[in-house]
Amino acid sequence: MSIVVSHLSYAYRSHTEQALHDVSAEFRPREVTLIAGASGCGKTTLIRCINGLIPQSYTGGQLSGQIMLFGQDNSKLKLADISQLVGTVLQGPERQIVATEVNGEIAFGLENLGLAREEIRSRIQHTAALLHIEPLLGRQTFLLSDGEKQKVALAGVLAMRPRAILLDEPLASLDPESGHETLSVMRELADAGIAVVIIEHRIEDVLDIKPEHCVYMSAGRVIYDGDARGLLDAADWREMKLPAPVIIRKVRAEKSTTAPVFQPALRGGDSARYTPLIEYQRVGFRYDDGPEVLHDATFAVRPGDIIAVIGPNGAGKTTLLKHAIGLNRPTRGRVLINQQDSAKLSVAQIARTVGYVFQSPSHMLFAPTVREELSFGPHNIGLDPRTIEANITYALSAVSLPDSANLAPLALSFGQQKRISIASILTMNPRVLVMDEPTTGQDYASYTHFMNDIVSRVNAGADRKAGFYEALIFITHDLDLGITYANRIIAVVDGIIVADGAPEDILRDQALLMRSHVRATSLLQANTSLLGRGMRFMPAASLAGMTRVLDDNA
């Protein structure tokens, strides 16, 4: 008794091309299945077909094939019946949160099942303990961080005790330690008899729990269906983020003697000679009458800075950087933007200097077409029509969506929406670009493309070249993103900046990594082993070329 997908094909109502082509697969109890592949390859569409959202909620498309859920044809079941067999954690937690309070959110499905009050209370407590979210019980959902919302959404699904759990990028909003804990729970559930299906771009993390089954999809088709070793052999390292040793092995097998991918020309510590673009001076902050959540935050952002902000879920990272765009105002202390007190500037005035990309694209997108979305910001800061059009063309190319100008943003996939939200800020050409979790919903090839472009323009902008950014700050739970691009790491724990320095210094501090809920990746380990040879941090493909040169010269 398992989930059996047979010859499944599907085309959305608004698209002529098929999202799925003759897909067949089986997902068994007591197994963890990893579904991997580039953004837009059909992974989420497959999940929607299994849980009945297609065709019962996504109507008008063309569907063929069959899905059997533990012996029952899902086309003959109502969504309420399917939800008792298959639980789903959606890609964006805000799409799943319906209650204003955490206990109510976890109880929502249980109440709809008609369970007794005492049973509901028992399941809430048990599930909260399982996911280590007891401190969140009783809190308002709209005050949670995205990572905390992700845990609560998962709790609501687990509390219903389905026979299968489908998770669409469950790690996207979680710090590495929380992600590890969540995956460990998934492993335990599979061992207890649940069928666990995980869509994820952070492949290395999922491989840690030893999935029995891996499916690799491309352009709506299943390219590989087998074990983890076979997946690593079949996957293209340029499209999927693989463990560093696998990338190094694959690149060296290609007989490349030079670093084959973009390596940022990091500026090191010379940014200190520039006047700060943004300066935090002992900033403290609290929401309304609540406790202080930021404490004496002090740091400066100068031309040439490429800063990765790391730390646990709920540590205050987003709260910290919202001060840079004036969405938060200090309770005490000051934030200076171009040497002016932000308290005396409007959000619109600050937006001429600082562009902010929210973690969730739903907080940004509203226009009927992508073109209107991308022209809204630059129009409001007074750019001329010709410049706006040129900026739109550039921004869509930077985020690998050059032909999307006439599409509806909210009809795109979550990953594509995230890239459109990034593009909407790129068109404004800010001096400082701030991005909250830029890799959410992105495959390796997509985010490498736009990060390469942005970082190269930061390096040019630091030398005051017109039309380029001067600094970049990004919040991330993807440690490898900081290793690859940042020349500076800021760690935030419990609202306090506990570290600020070069990646090579910060990321060797094991105690700090533990406090920041950061787990060492294979890329960090590979880079750390080479620091004694005069190397600096770089991506795995560049390491492959460099280590070949070093070995040849040894």
CATH assignment of the domain containing 192: 3.40.50.300
* Amino acid making up residue 242: L
Query: Tokens representing 338?
Result: 């171009």
Confidence class for position 463, pLDDT limits 50, 70, 90: low
Distance CA 298, CA 114 (A): 52
Q: For 155-194, what is each residue's pLDDT tens digit?
A: 999 999 999 999 999 888 888 888 898 899 999 999 999 9
What local confidence, expressed as pLDDT, does residue 458 receive?
86
Distance CA 489, CA 386 (A): 38
Residue 539 forms part of a structural domain: no
β partners of residue 23: 8
CB 91 within 8 A of CB 441: yes
Residue 143 forms part of a structural domain: yes
Among residues 18, 5, 32, the alpha carbon closest in space to that of 166 is found at 32
Residue 139 forms part of a structural domain: yes
Distance CA 281, CA 527 (A): 34
Element (H, E) at 490: strand 488-493
Residue 223 forms part of a structural domain: yes
Q: For 302-345, what is each residue's pLDDT tens digit?
A: 988 999 999 998 899 999 999 999 999 999 999 999 999 999 99
> What φ, ψ does residue 538 adopt, rounded to 5°?
-160, 165
Residue 208 forms part of a structural domain: yes
- Domain range for 19: 3-235
How deeply is 229 buried, as exposed, middle or buried, from its count of CB atoms within 10 A (0-12, 13-18, 19+)? exposed
Confidence class for position 121, pLDDT limits 50, 70, 90: very high
Confidence class for position 489, pLDDT limits 50, 70, 90: very high
Q: How far is CA 245 from CA 59, 290, 485, in A?
A: 44, 47, 19
Residue 72 forms part of a structural domain: yes
Q: Is the model's pLDDT at 255 over the cut of 70? A: no
Residue 112 forms part of a structural domain: yes
Kindly report the pTM of this predicted structure.
0.87
* Amino acid making up residue 431: R
Element (H, E) at 482: helix 479-485
Distance CA 439, CA 202 (A): 10
> What φ, ψ does residue 400 adopt, rounded to 5°?
60, 35
CB 467 within 8 A of CB 510: no
What local confidence, expressed as pLDDT, does residue 256 receive?
52
Average pLDDT for 533-550: 73
CB 300 within 8 A of CB 278: yes
Cis peptide before 503 (omega within 30 of 0): no
Confidence class for position 144, pLDDT limits 50, 70, 90: confident
Q: Which residues contact 412 (CB under 8 A, 6 or more apart)?
A: 404, 420
Distance CA 459, CA 456 (A): 5
Element (H, E) at 366: none
Task: Compute the C-alpha angle 299/304/306, nearest 5°.
Answer: 65
Percentage of the chain beyond pLDDT 70 is 93
Q: For 12-57, what is each residue's pLDDT tens digit?
A: 987 778 999 999 999 999 999 999 998 888 999 999 999 999 999 9
What local confidence, expressed as pLDDT, does residue 228 receive?
93
Q: Is the model's pLDDT at 554 over the cut of 50? A: no
Residue 71: count of CB within 10 angstroms of its CB: 8
- How many structural domains is the chain composed of? 1
Residue 291 forms part of a structural domain: no
Confidence class for position 272, pLDDT limits 50, 70, 90: low
CB 162 within 8 A of CB 84: yes
> How many residues are there in the chain?
554
Instruction: Output DSSP code: residue 44.
Output: H
CB 306 within 8 A of CB 487: yes
Residue corresponding to tokens 């960090």: 524
Q: What is the full DSSP assignment across 73-131? A: EGGGS-HHHHHHHEEEE-SSGGGT---SBHHHHHHHHHHHTT--HHHHHHHHHHHHHHT
> What φ, ψ does residue 423 adopt, rounded to 5°?
-60, -35
